[in-house]
């Protein structure tokens, strides 16, 4: 292996193509990142970028967080991995911390190694606890790529050619107010009421076998930053309770300060029966967790656990991350910087292409349209050009959304105002490139 100084970007990218399976096509070359610091990452040629993807929405404290690195090194010097038939102090302390900071009766943690695995485990827990097998999931949902979570994920491109997937997923509408035919608040939150209609077999376009175990929802949909109206989650919670169905909240992406609270569900005072976590829970080291009640945990006697679940280094990193988030009041900072970015991005020019800018804390999405009245979305080609132009202006940002016309703006929660200004101006300059193309 060549040290980074002696390998060129061209050679590195060729080796990347030769040896790494990326499972996608027709996207721009990856950027070879060699180091990061806070909201900034640097490539092999020394170019700097603001990372609005936070390492795929993991690095909430930013890149190279001192206290987390210290915790990782100290733990790695003691013990890295044990069998889950033994235990370690970081695994115990992180589970205790999660019991303390998650709402209501959530108090028991089952460790996994990723978000998809957390959702698989949550679905199994719900099935075992209720003795039922159907799961209600939303349109535009992303819950992971393994065959159970993938069944709850809605994107056709991820699902095609690998079926049949887990049986029994029933689809409900998502809370896409910007393109909903029923306008808020006159809609009377039809999207939540539809879940009850599904349970009563009165839904417009779907039915169940009257065997629903749970509803699984991301409090804010990661694909497109789709924020529900304030009534939505409390209504869904109430419906689930009334019908004896479990509510699984997938906070793989929204937890740990991202939406301006430690957990997004706090924003609406909603407590799920099962909370799924990954990404930030390991402070950048792969880890997942399912946090649930004693009653549900007691029935989840499922023989064993994944090999690397509760890895000691990952738990130590996660614990240091949570402690830092709390000590430095980072969720409040996310709230403030989210508002700052929302205001700045709402005023970029040419404004006729900015359909909607939505932020909850630092979970942001900008929806680009060719016409504000018709809301005609930017094409795939325009979005590819926009993303490439943003990269050339020093901004790493990902494209998403039900129509593929949304920039996800989710930088580390520690982003400074000066860096946020660079994001606003970088995206504005990129938009001008597309406007003049």
Ligand X SMILES: Cc1ncc(COP(=O)(O)O)c(C=O)c1O
Least Cβ distance, residue 135 to ligand X (angstroms): 14
Using the rule CB under 6 A, is 115 a contact of ligand X?
Answer: yes
- The full DSSP string for 27-91 is -PPPP-EEEEEBTEEEETTS-EEEETTHHHHT-TT-BS-HHHHHHHHHHHTT-S---TTS--HHH
Judged by CB under 6 A, how many residues of this single chain contact ligand X? 13
- Residue pair 334/299 in contact (Cβ under 8 Å)? The answer is no
Using the rule CB under 6 A, is 292 a contact of ligand X?
Answer: no
Q: How many C-beta neighbours within 10 Å does residue 131 have?
A: 9
DSSP 417: H
How far is residue 258's CA from residue 361's CA, in Å, rounded to a whole number? 6
Using the rule CB under 6 A, is 144 a contact of ligand X?
Answer: yes
Least Cβ distance, residue 425 to ligand X (angstroms): 28
Least Cβ distance, residue 222 to ligand X (angstroms): 4
Tell me whether residue 132 or residue 143 sits nearer to ligand X (CB atom).
143
Our CA angle for 266, 272, 277, nearest 5°, is: 80
Q: Which of residues 232-271 bind ligand X (CB under 6 A)?
A: 250, 252-253
What are the residues whose beta carbons fall under 8 Å from the beta carbon of 322, sequence distance 6 or more? 94, 97, 101, 256
Using the rule CB under 6 A, is 222 a contact of ligand X?
Answer: yes
Of 110, 142, 256, 300, which lies in the binding site for ligand X, with binding defined by CB under 6 A? 142
- Residue pair 172/195 in contact (Cβ under 8 Å)? The answer is yes
Tell me whether residue 53 or residue 271 sits nearer to ligand X (CB atom).
53
Tell me whether residue 253 or residue 259 sits nearer to ligand X (CB atom).
253
Our CA angle for 143, 272, 292, nearest 5°, is: 85
Tell me whether residue 143 or residue 358 sits nearer to ligand X (CB atom).
143
Tell me whether residue 120 or residue 428 sits nearer to ligand X (CB atom).
120
Residue nearest to ligand X (CB): 115
Tell me whether residue 152 or residue 427 sits nearer to ligand X (CB atom).
152
Cα dist from 70 to 74, 202, 318, 347, 402, whole Å: 6, 56, 12, 41, 40
How far is residue 96's CA from residue 91's CA, in Å, rounded to a whole number? 9
Tell me whether residue 278 or residue 325 sits nearer to ligand X (CB atom).
278
Least Cβ distance, residue 173 to ligand X (angstroms): 18
Least Cβ distance, residue 110 to ligand X (angstroms): 15
Q: What is the largest CA-CA distance in the chain?
A: 65
Of 114, 140, 271, 400, which lies in the binding site for ligand X, with binding defined by CB under 6 A? 114
Using the rule CB under 6 A, is 154 a contact of ligand X?
Answer: no
H-run or E-run covering 99: helix 89-101
Using the rule CB under 6 A, is 278 a contact of ligand X?
Answer: yes
Give the contact letters, 71-110, x = binds to ligand X (CB under 6 A), - = no. Answer: ----------------------------------------
Per CB under 6 A, the segment of 139-147, 189-197, 346-354, 367-375 that binds ligand X is: 139-147
Tell me whether residue 142 or residue 300 sits nearer to ligand X (CB atom).
142
Tell me whether residue 283 or residue 344 sits nearer to ligand X (CB atom).
283
Q: How far is CA 418 from the centre of its chain?
A: 25
Q: Which of residues 116-135 bind ligand X (CB under 6 A)?
A: 116, 119
Which spans in 294-329 are helix H? 294-299, 312-327
Least Cβ distance, residue 318 to ligand X (angstroms): 14
Using the rule CB under 6 A, is 143 a contact of ligand X?
Answer: yes
Q: Is 70 left (phi over 0), alpha (psi -120 to 50) or beta?
A: alpha
Using the rule CB under 6 A, is 428 a contact of ligand X?
Answer: no
Tell me whether residue 277 or residue 434 sits nearer to ligand X (CB atom).
277
Angle between helix 190-199 and 232-243 (nearest 10): 10
- Residue pair 92/312 in contact (Cβ under 8 Å)? The answer is no
Least Cβ distance, residue 423 to ligand X (angstroms): 21
Using the rule CB under 6 A, is 282 a contact of ligand X?
Answer: no
How far is residue 332's CA from residue 194's CA, in Å, rounded to a whole number? 34
Using CB atoms within 10 Å of the CB of residue 58, give its burial: 0 to 12 exposed, 13 to 18 middle, 19+ buried: buried
Residues that bind ligand X (CB under 6 A): 114-116, 119, 142-144, 218, 222, 250, 252-253, 278
């Amino acid at each position: 292996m060549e040290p980074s100084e002696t390998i060129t970007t061209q050679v590195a990218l060729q080796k990347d193509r030769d040896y790494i399976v990326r499972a996608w096509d027709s996207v721009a070359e990856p950027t070879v990142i060699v180091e990061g610091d806070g909201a900034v990452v640097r490539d092999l040629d020394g170019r700097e970028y603001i990372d609005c993807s936070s390492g795929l929405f993991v690095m909430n404290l930013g890149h190279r967080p001192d206290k987390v690195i210290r915790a990782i090194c100290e733990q790695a010097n003691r013990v890295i991995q044990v069998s889950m038939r033994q235990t370690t102090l970081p695994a115990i302390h992180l589970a205790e911390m999660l019991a303390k900071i998650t709402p209501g009766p959530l108090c028991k943690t089952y460790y996994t190694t990723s978000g998809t695995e957390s959702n698989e485990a949550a679905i199994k827990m719900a099935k075992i606890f209720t003795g039922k097998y159907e799961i209600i999931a939303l349109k535009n949902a992303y819950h992971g790529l393994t065959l159970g979570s993938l069944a709850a994920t809605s994107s056709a491109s991820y699902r095609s050619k690998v079926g049949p997937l887990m049986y029994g997923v029933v689809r409900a509408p998502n809370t896409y107010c910007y393109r909903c035919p029923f306008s808020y608040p006159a809609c009377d939150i039809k999207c939540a009421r539809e879940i009850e209609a599904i349970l009563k077999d009165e839904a417009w376009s779907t039915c169940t076998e009257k065997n629903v175990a749970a509803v699984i929802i991301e409090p804010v949909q990661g694909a497109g930053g789709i924020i529900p109206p304030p009534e939505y989650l409390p209504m869904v919670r109430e419906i689930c309770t009334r019908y004896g169905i479990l509510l699984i909240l997938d906070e793989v992406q929204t937890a740990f300060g991202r939406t301006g609270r430690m957990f997004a569900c706090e924003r609406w005072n909603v407590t799920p029966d099962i909370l799924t976590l990954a990404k930030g829970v390991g402070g950048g080291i792969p880890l997942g967790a399912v946090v649930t009640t004693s009653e549900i945990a007691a029935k989840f006697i499922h023989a064993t656990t994944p090999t690397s679940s509760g890895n000691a280094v990952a738990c130590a990193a996660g614990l240091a991350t949570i402690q830092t988030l709390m000590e430095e009041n980072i969720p409040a900072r996310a709230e403030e910087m989210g508002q700052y970015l929302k205001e700045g991005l709402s005023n970029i020019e040419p404004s006729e292409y900015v359909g909607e800018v939505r932020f909850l804390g630092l979970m942001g999405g900008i929806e680009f349209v060719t016409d504000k009245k018709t809301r005609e979305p930017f094409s795939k080609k325009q979005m590819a050009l926009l993303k490439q132009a943003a990269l050339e202006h020093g901004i790493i940002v990902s494209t998403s959304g039900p129509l593929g016309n949304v920039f996800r703006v989710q930088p580390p929660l520690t982003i400074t105002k000066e860096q946020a200004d660079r994001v606003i101006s970088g995206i504005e300059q990129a938009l001008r490139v597309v406007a003049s193309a």
